[in-house]
Amino acid sequence: MVLSCFIILLLTLNPPEGIVAGEESSSLFFLHYHGLLVGPEGTCFEGGVFPAVMTFPPDYPLSPPKMRFTCEMFHPNIYPDGRVCISILHAPGDDPMGYESSAERWSPVQSVEKILLSVVSMLAEPNDESGANVDASKMWREDRAQFDKIAHQLVRKSLGL
């Protein structure tokens, strides 16, 4: 309950710029927060309003939360089902694939604000070498105009246009 109150206060009283969030539901096992992320200025996602859910496990902050967009997204670091793939949300310790350093992965000292800012930054600058969505990664590298066109369509869709 204390964790729930802390996160609600952080996200509602002092949210990072471009982010609105609040408690969606909670149980003894998980806390779920629904939020809206605004596409960063100067990017192909600019102006979009993208709903997402962050789920905190019972052993948070020892384990990272999970984050998933609940709208259609096309991005190298977002799986087709909306799950966000970013280093800060990966379990602590060494990467079994040897791609990430342990310093890039989850640590209990990470804040919810840092997670959200990292995701907004990821929208602006994807890591196309570690793609969760292979098609989006390939298009980001090889056909940026088509990628931007799809992103602009998603922005319009997120606004109900």
The catalytic residue positions are: 85
What count of other Cβ atoms lies within 10 Å of the Cβ of residue 64?
22
H/E run at residue 20:
strand 19-26
Residue whose C-alpha is closest to residue 68's, from 56, 79, 53: 53
Cis peptide leading into 61, omega within 30 of 0? yes
Burial code (b: 16+ CB inside 10 Å, e: under 16) for 108-127 equals: eebebeebbbbbbebbeebb
What are the tokens at 143? 């056909």
